[in-house]
Structure 1
Amino acid sequence: MPLALVDPDLRRAGTTKTGFSLAGKTIWIAGHTGMVGQALLRRLRGEACRVLTVERRELDLTRQAEVEHFVAEARPDAIIIAAARVGGILANARDPVGFLSDNLAINLNIAKAAHAADVDRVLFMGSSCIYPKFAAQPITEEALLTGPLEPTNQWYALAKIAALKLAEAYRQQFGRNYIAAMPTNLYGPGDNFDLEAGHVLPALLRKAHEAKVSGARQFALWGTGTARREFLHVDDCADALVLLLKTYSGADPVNIGYGEDIALIDLAQMICSTVGYEGAIALDPSKPDGTPRKLLDTTRLRQTGWRPRIALTDGIADTYAWYQAQLAREAAA
């Protein structure tokens, strides 16, 4: 049975009368092979629910007919959209059409299929990059659409903004209990360590590791090193997402963040310490810094009692251990 709709005033306040129990429910994780999807799989092992997954080769989320057929047949009770085409500054710059169109298609197709199959609980994932480039810090949810975006990732950001507004539109027009969360920069096991397509933290981990192994005297850090970023371990993010799925029914999106930020040069030095690399970090100011600072205001989420558990130093060590294990498996294959 679909989740009973809450009163309109309760929707805006972000509260429900009964919550959404996962017990006995089927939860489809769209994008289960990605970093967030894998973390959700780990987190949901502790819940009395059935987790539904489907391989990419069996279901192309950019194909509407395929998605509608799958959801109609599977009939999940809830959907978490962890699927996305993601990448760093270079990847966004090289394929703006792909980042915009693929991410638009994924969210639009799943939303339409869910509504058609009467799935009343869908969690859409945005990203902190959807906020204006010069938003006041820390960034509240109300800052959305109040200024221009950071040009280096605007295509991805526009697709994610559309997804959040799509959730709001389904709620307004059809009373659907669709919600949206906006995580900060995530990292952890399952991250993408590709130097062109990956994000800054895994890219720096790889650079420091390879510099150590090769005996290089230095490695490069794009930009001035002064840009500040907030980083949250993906397992903390998964914990917050499951909490929101079970307890939140508000129309407003919810930020998910660590609560502290760090200058990228300091992050690079922390990574060097973890890796054991003693060489230099060569700044490249000819490359873009991106948004000067990006720290989320997580007051709305913390009011639920949620707190991150994994400190950045511990999370980096955990991620580096995972990366080393991956390299060892590849070498043994």
Structure 2
Amino acid sequence: MAEANEIPIDRKLGEIFEEAYNLMDTIEACYDPMNSPGVQANIKKCIGLYEDATRLVSLCGLFSSNETYEEIATENLRYFLLPFFLGQLNLKLCNADRKQIVEMADVYFNDFLRRCENYALCQKPETESAVVARNDTPGDKVQELARMAQERNTKLQKYQEKKELTDQIKLLKVAMKKEHVDDEIKREFYLKLLKSCIMEAHDELASIAQEKQILQYIDVARRNNSSTESHKPTPKGPPPRPLKPIIITRDAAQKAVYGMGYPSLPTMTVADFYEQRVREGIFPDAERMKEINKNSLMNRVYQDNAAELDKEEEEKETLVEQDDEEYLARQRAKDEFKDDHRRGYGNRHNRS
């Protein structure tokens, strides 16, 4: 997804997540069409960063199934959001098979909700069969109207709760941008963000279920019209590579469970990913690039400048140690001038 110079081998997990999170904010704030090349390139880059972060989380084994969210360190709470963000970003892709995109997003959102349920961040929702059984119970029109009113009130309550959460997250997000943030504020921000994302994930899964039905109907219609489509020219070039979900797992057994039947490779580190791309000829060899940069003209100029600066510093230190009167007098004169003339004193061009 990303270029070679954007995925260094020695990057930290927190740095990769922060870059992806900031890039995601840029995508959300962008006014360009979602299918424009620039926006799609940013989406793919962001997906690649989140996938690398997911591989590192799996490799580090940050999460354990016998813990609750209260036992998770504040800085690690944000990594619960990885599958949710990947699901959101995959739904924004425009140059891939929509059916694959929807299936990928379904895997990510279900993985996110299942992990949140395991860590007591949310309760397991009522099964669909139980809801159908309750709604199919015989009753008169009054009971039916009462049920509809209750559902309406529940939706309004969820909407109000989501709106309040959004406002609180905006305020906490401003506080998070400060240089020194208290640990309690960080934890409150991540927990409220998780709660908001859990609500969005349920809505996204409901939309995905409806879209799957529409896509299935379109597939049936296309098969019925296969006779007319057979005369159309077949597209040239190899078929697009199938998408693969990257989810947080620790071993092959978890991969088989969380992967839900999809061929995923979640245990690859960023270094392994880079080395694989080097073998495929997509990324340049890091050692070779170091040798090329070492002999470059710019590098030589930089080394010469650094040597000159070091030499000047040594000369200054020698003059200070020897109490050179001329040098000390010059430094005192500079200090006196700075005391009497503040910065920008003589630069009054085009100023009132």
Instruction: Note whether the superposition's TM-score is higher than 0.5.
Output: no
From the two aligned structures, give the one with the greater strand fraction.
Answer: 1
Q: TM-score, normalised by structure 1?
A: 0.26
Please say which structure displays the higher CA radius of gyration.
2
From the two aligned structures, give the one with the greater helix fraction.
Answer: 2
Q: TM-score, normalised by structure 2?
A: 0.25
